[in-house]
Amino acid sequence: DQQVKQNSPSLSVQEGRISILNCDYTNSMFDYFLWYKKYPAEGPTFLISISSIKDKNEDGRFTVFLNKSAKHLSLHIVPSQPGDSAVYFCAASEYNFNKFYFGSGTKLNVKP
């Protein structure tokens, strides 16, 4: 039962352009969402989070948008850099559960 879905396994973007990674969820009880970045042979690294009381959160080049009615969130990276090339996972949890459901990931390739 896949409660968090990332339907694009891969994305290729030119350096300097915008990268948009998408994530959909089915559980309406989810109210906290995170994005993680993962390089090969390393553990996932936290990027940015958003709670359900917001619809946008920004941190430098990274912005996460949440559309609760559509059960959809997206991560925007502007401008994209070659060092951003990695696998990106979205994750979601219910209030104060700290039990996260992860999507299957999107592999981002930023071309110089």
Partner 1 sequence: DAGVTQSPTHLIKTRGQQVTLRCSPKSGHDTVSWYQQALGQGPQFIFQYYEEEERQRGNFPDRFSGHQFPNYSSELNVNALLLGDSALYLCASSLRTGVNEKLFFGSGTQLSVL
Interface residues with partner 1 (CB under 8 A) are 4, 6, 32, 34, 36, 41-46, 49, 51, 89, 91, 95-105
Nearest approach, Cβ of 59 to partner 1 (angstroms)? 12
Nearest approach, Cβ of 105 to partner 1 (angstroms)? 6
**Nearer to partner 1 among residue 99 and residue 112 (C-beta):** 99
**Nearer to partner 1 among residue 47 and residue 77 (C-beta):** 47
Nearest approach, Cβ of 18 to partner 1 (angstroms)? 24
Torsions phi, psi for 96 (to 5 deg): 60, 20
Nearest approach, Cβ of 55 to partner 1 (angstroms)? 16
What residue type is 74 in one-letter code? Answer: S
**Nearer to partner 1 among residue 16 and residue 97 (C-beta):** 97
**Nearer to partner 1 among residue 65 and residue 79 (C-beta):** 65
Closest CA to 32 of 10, 15, 54, 17: 54
DSSP letter assigned to residue 3:
S
Q: Which residues contact 5 (CB under 8 A, 6 or more apart)?
A: 23, 24, 25, 26, 103, 104
